[in-house]
Structure 1
Amino acid sequence: MSNVAGRRSQHPSVRDGAAGFTLIELLVSLALMGMAAALLLQGLAMAGVVAQRERASISGLEEVIAAQRLLRSGIERLRPVTRSDSALPIVELRGTAGILTFVGPPLDRMAPDALQRFRLTRTASGDLVLYSASIRKIDLDRDGSDLIGWTPNTLLRGVRDLSISYLGPARAGLDRGWQDRWWDRPQPPELIRIRIEFAGRDRRKWPDLIVRPRATTNAACRIDALTGRCGGES
């Protein structure tokens, strides 16, 4: 009897030990699951950051491509309009390292076929802007800093530096090559190069945009005051 009682007295302690060991396993499992969840959340957060950066990179690339396409289209189609305020055949195209002003068809192909004046520049706030105005506006400040009457078309933001160069024949004893000024010439430059640097940690890249205007000095024209087109155009 004593042996049976002894064996019976041992049963509760065995069950208690088994229950305690199972509780420890449960706590360890919960801890491991918590660590796994934390790692999973961290991985998801990192993946979200990477995806956001990729989207920003793609968006920035699309902005650069769109800006280059628009500028290429405008500069390629510029018109060598002869200035009416000069006795010499001077084309209405003036450019410096930071500003380019020229005449060409409207950017919107669905717009009326009246020539526009364009001015490409960088604003003080770092925006790359292509201003436009109808060539019929006689009170427009063509070459100064007054932009009243011009319509701004913002191409890019966050631009730190804009550099424009012009390739053409030698002038004033200079060798033929890239120049940072094209002013009151009888013909457009052979090539126009536009370089841009972005500000700060901006990852966008701007490949050199080099454009050859289709117009030549032989296409110089005077504007018809009624149609806004080159004289002789149909």
Structure 2
Amino acid sequence: MRASASLFSADRSPGEEGFTLIELLVSLALLGMAAVLLMQGLASAGIIAQRERASRSNIEEIVTSQRVLRATIERLRPVTRMDSAIPIVELRGTAGVLTFVAPPFDRDGPDALQRFRLTRTASGDLVLYSAHSRKVDIDRSGTDLVGWTPNRLLGGVRDLSISYLGPPHPGASRVWQDRWWDRSTTPELVRIRVVFAENDRRIWPDLFVRPRATSHGPCRIDELTGKCREER
């Protein structure tokens, strides 16, 4: 009877091994909390890693866009218009649109000169359009983009601001201007500023580009090669 009573006794001496029901429940609760905290930590680490990857991707996209613009604008050619008695360079720029003539993209290889037009689209894309210099059925100086090939650089652009450094007229001091239109020279510097949409953390550092002056002076396009005659 004494042995039978000990089997059903709820009393447990301090030295006995094992867990009571309350101790087991507390242990399970602590393990559950630890598992939740671990999962939250892993999720947070995943979010941080994803944000870092997105940040690196955004930075690379901006760097690539600036590299393309710098390489293209640096090599612009002072092509002179054929319908003017005085030398007028085919470069027309406003605060929101820049149109100029330059060699094609490096990926396209050596070829006839191309016309380029940098602008922001209504959907917020920063686009560098291109068209063959001998293409006649395009708007060469306005905003009509029919016949031009779009080369998208960035999205989510709220504002594009282009400025030009140089004298507003011969003999004047150099100043920044928001318009460079039908002049006999190219600007000394072109500054491109981009502002992204609200709540967009991307930052566009001001891009300053100095067009390279050709050693041959004004450029006239050869009808056969489509290049500057001085560069044949």
Q: State the TM-score, normalizing by the size of structure 1.
A: 0.91
Give 2:119's match in structure 1, choosing from 118, 121, 127.
121
User: 3-state DSSP class of the match of 1:151?
Assistant: coil
Q: Structure 1 residue 12 and structure 2 residue 7: aligned?
A: yes
Identity %: 70
Larger mean Cα displacement after TM superposition, 196-205 or 21-30:
21-30
Q: Which residue is equivalent to 2:64?
A: 66
Q: CA deviation at 1:135?
A: 0.3
Structure 1 stretches of 4+ moved >6 Å? none
Aligned length, in residue pairs: 228
Partner of 2:227: 229
1:77 to 65, 68, 75: 75
Compared CA separation, residues 121 and 110, structure 1 to 2 (3 A): closer
Report SS of the residue matched to 2:40: helix
Alignment CA distance shift 1:144-1:170 (3 Å)? closer
Post-superposition CA distance 1:181-220 (Å, at most 9, x none):
0000101000000000000111111000000000259521
Q: C-alpha offsets along residues 166-190 of structure 1, whole Å, 9 cap, x if unaligned?
A: 0012328964210000000101000
Deviation at 1:145, TM superposition (A): 2.2
Separation of aligned partners in 2, 1:103 and 1:197? 26
Which secondary structure state, in structure 1, belongs to the residue aligned with residue 229 of structure 2? coil
Please point out which of 210, 213, 229 is paired with 1:215. 213
How far apart in 2 are the matches of 1:64 and 1:117? 23
Task: Give the equivalent residue in structure 1 for 2:47.
Answer: 49
Unaligned stretches of 5+ in structure 1?
none
Partner SS, residue 231 of structure 2 = coil
C-alpha distance in 2, partners of 1:110/1:30? 66
Q: Mark the runs of 5 or more structure 2 residues left unpaired by the alignment.
A: none
Answer yes or no: is the 8 Å Cα contact 1:188–1:216 preserved in 2: no
Does 2:175 correspond to 1:177? yes
Q: Identify the range of structure 1 (166-175 vs 72-81) with the bigger mean alpha-carbon deviation.
A: 166-175
- State the Cα RMSD in Å: 2.0
More helix by share: 1
Partner of 1:89: 87
TM-score, scaled relative to structure 2: 0.91
Change (3 A) 1:183 1:31: same
Q: How far apart, in 1, do the equivalents of 2:183 and 2:173 lie?
A: 16
Q: Which amino acid aligns with 1:111?
A: G
Q: Report if the CA contact (8 A) 1:187-1:216 is conserved.
A: no
Shift of 1:22: 2.4
Structure index of larger Rg:
1
